Structures are given as C-alpha cells and as structure tokens.
Amino acid sequence: MAGLQVAMLTGKNALLVRQREMNVVGNNIANAGRAGYHRQTAVLLANPSVEDSSGQYGTGARVAQVMRDFDGALETNLRHAITEDGYRQVAAEQLQTAEGVLAPNGTSALSESVSRFALALQQVAAEPENSALRENLLQAGDAVAEQFNLTREGLTRLQTNILDSSGRGVLADNVEQINDVSQQISDLNRQISQLENRLFNPQQANDLRDRRDELVSQLARLADIEATENSNGTLTISIDGTALVDGLTDPERLALGTDGSGLPILIWQATSAPVVQAEEGETQSLVDAYAYLEALVGDLDNFADTWSNSLNTAHAAGFDTSGNAGGDLFSVDAGTHRMAFQLTRTADFAAASAAGAAGDGGNARNLWQTMMAPSPALDDQPLADYAEHLTDTVAAQTASARGSADAAKAAVSMFRDAVTSKSGVNTDEEMLAMLEIQRAYQATAKFAATANDMIGTVINMV
C-alpha cells in the first residue's frame, strides 16, 4: 500500500509540474513580440526520494524556479550599440538641420546673395552712371545683410532649442530624463532584491528584471553607461567609473554646468564636478552639437567682420558722385552681431577711383577684386566663395555623420536580432513545447488514474 501511496504522490507532483510548465508556456506566448520580454523557462528539480527495504524510489519532480533566457554578453553588446546609435543619430540630425539653415533649398542662400552682390559690382563698374544699376547694387547689399542675419538667427535658434539662456531645452530635458530613469532603476533594484533575497520562498523577479532592462536600455541611449549586476540582484550603473545608480542606495543626480568657455557640460549635482564621458549617448551628442553650432556661428561672425572690414576699406578708397570719399558699406553690431547695409542713396556709392570722375568705375572693380582675392582671415578663401565653402564643409560633415548613423543603426539591429534569437519568444517552439507538455500531462493523468485503480483494488481485497 505504501508503494501505491508513493506512486499517487509522484503522479500528483507530475501533474502540478505540467500545469506550471503550461503556465510558463502560456505566458511566453502571451508576450511574444513584446519588446523587452525575455522567454521564461521552468527549471525542474527532483523531489526527495523515499526508501524501503527494497531500495529508493523517486517521488517525481518540482518546479524549482522560473528563469529568464538571458545572455549577459549579448545584452551588453546591444547596450553599447544603443549608446553609440544615440550619439550618431542626434549628431546627424543636428548637422542636417544646420545644413538646412545654411542651404534651405539645397544651395547656400547666403552664397547666392553674395554672388548677386558681386555681379552688381561688375555691372556698376561697367556703367557707373547708370542709376538703375546703382539701385540694384543697393538692393543686393541689403540682401547680403538680410541673408546673413537670417542665417545667423537660424543657427542660434538651433542652439536655443538645445539649451536656452533660462536653462530649458532638449539638453535639459535629457538630463532630467537621465535622473528620472535612474530613480526608477533604483526603485526596481529594491523591489528585485526584496523578492529574490527574502527568507521565505525567494523567487526570480523576471518581470521586474525585464522592466529594469528596458530602463537600462533607455538610459544607455541617453548616456555612456556601464552596468554591473551585484550578488543581491541589484545593478550598479556607472558613468566614467562614477556610480550613477549604486545598488540599494539613492541614485546620484546629474545637472548642467558650463565650462571655461561658457559652453554647457554635464556635472554631478552633489559636487558640481564635470562628468567625463566618451563620445557616446544622446546627451553628450547634444552637448557636442551645441559646441559645434557655437563654433559655426563664430565662423559666420568672423566672415561678417572680415566682409565688412575688407569692403569698407576698399570702398573708402573710392569717391561717390559728389567727389566725397566712400563711407562704410556694411556694419556689424558688436553686441547682436547683426549686419546692416549702410547706403541708402545710390549717389553715395563710391564707384570712381578718383574724385570728379563720374564715368569711372575703377573702385567698383577694386571692390569686386577684393571679393575675389584670398583672405587670410578666412583660411585663404575669397569673400565671394566663403559662404559656399562653409556650406560645403557642413554638407560633407552631414554626409559623413549620416553614414555613421546608418552604420550605428545597423549595429543595433544586428545585436537586437541576436538577443531576440537567444532570448525572444518563438511561437513555433512554444507550440511544440505545449504539445510535449500536453502529452506528458495525459500520460501522467493516465498513470495517476491507474495508481488510483490499483489502490481501489487493494482496498477491496481487505
């Protein structure tokens, strides 16, 4: 009779195991295709055996725990790829937007206005007494100043979108998001540790771990992080060796500061020490984009100053229709950096190279030649070509950045496919597992029914 009781116990255990295995399979199928979900597997262990005079008899198996299919190396590679992709995508987007400001229709708007001004100079040089051509020159000068101002305003607007003078912008939002995600990871650290390290019935916190992994991926896109799992199941997340999230302790917070040049940098809020990062993550890319735009605006300002000074000097060497020396053609405000064309009357343009020579266009030709001569202040680029040179440089950088962004995106796709292949749910495999469990359950039920019949027979014999 004792042997049949053991058989019934074994059958009951087997039925429970198959039911729990079916629950796991059902959960996998329900979450198939959900981003961040890792396939779960029931881990079976043998139950203690029983012993009598004839030997030991097993009592079946039990579900010891439900584990995630998780490959740490693949997940780390994916996280690093996401970090690089975050940097490259933002860099490409910022460069592409800057190129759009410089060349809204595929060609440099500032360069076109400069070319029209150069053509107007040639026309006045050929017919210095033609008032219509002089009027056209004034309009062309106004257009150069207006287009410079529009271009500069467009670039500075891109900067303020990243971070404005009040501390708002995409960069500030990213820093706040880093702090928010770090806090959520810290909270999950506590929940996971409590569930997995409790004295009574500790369990793997699979769903919480999946959620934490999703948050770590979000954080990896924002910043260049390293994640290390501790013995208690918590994660320590570091930036440049300094802990951002450290197990069960409250996370550190990031903030924005400025470097010696007044450019934004990431700092640790508690100490104001700068956060040293590799060239990775969306946030660092925004910091670098702000600095890039600052340099680009500086190049544009240098061009405006060189343009104004060079042409004003050349214009001062000529004479207007009244015999007066030429005044300034352009001005650049020292505070706002706005350019203005100074002439309002056609007679004030100093086309002649000598006083009283009304039909002389020598100084207009001199102005044109000044535009065509290499300028040391512009890396030996002529005034006439510098705007196009600046646009071409940004366009080349944009094309290179887009290529890097495409490669980074492909790397993320490759590693994500590898993680999915290793840890994702394959519904065909789950269907096969379900059929195997069903057959095992049917066999177990038949076994239990047979054992029950045998017990009934024994009872009837008594």
> Rounded distance, CA 154 to CA 148, Å?
10
> Rounded distance, CA 264 to CA 258, Å?
4
> Rounded distance, CA 223 to CA 221, Å?
6
Confidence at 2, pLDDT banded by 50, 70, 90: low
As a whole number, mean pLDDT of residues 175-181 equals 96
- Could you report the per-residue pLDDT of 242-281, keeping only the tens digit for each? 899 998 899 999 999 999 888 999 999 999 999 886 668 9
- Could you report the per-residue pLDDT of 323-369, keeping only the tens digit for each? 999 999 999 999 999 999 999 999 999 999 998 887 889 999 999 99
Confidence at 462, pLDDT banded by 50, 70, 90: low
Instruction: Identify any residues that bridge with 40 across adjacent strands, giving them in sequence order.
Output: 68
> For residues 246 and 254, is the Cβ–Cβ distance under 8 A?
no
> Rounded distance, CA 226 to CA 80, Å?
9
Q: How many CB atoms lie within 10 A of CB 261?
A: 8
- Could you report the per-residue pLDDT of 130-139, keeping only the tens digit for each? 999 999 999 9
User: What integer pLDDT is reported at residue 115 of this predicted model?
Assistant: 97
Residue that is written with structure tokens 């266009």 in the block: 361
Query: Which pair of tokens denotes residue 91?
Result: 């860099």
Checking if the pLDDT of 305 tops 60, the result is yes
User: What integer pLDDT is reported at residue 178 of this predicted model?
Assistant: 96
* pTM, two decimal places: 0.88
Rounded to 10°, the helix 383-423/72-102 angle is: 160
User: What integer pLDDT is reported at residue 106 of this predicted model?
Assistant: 85
Query: Which pair of tokens denotes residue 459?
Result: 């009872």
- Work out the widest C-alpha separation in the chain, in whole angstroms: 142
User: What integer pLDDT is reported at residue 451 of this predicted model?
Assistant: 76
Rounded to 10°, the helix 72-102/206-222 angle is: 30
The angle subtended at Cα 11 by Cα 204 and Cα 434, nearest 5°, is 55
Rounded to 10°, the helix 362-372/109-126 angle is: 150
Residue 306 CB partners (closer than 8 Å, separation 6+): 375, 377, 378, 383
> Rounded distance, CA 135 to CA 26, Å?
81
Domain ranges of the chain: 2-69+425-461, 88-166+291-411, 170-277
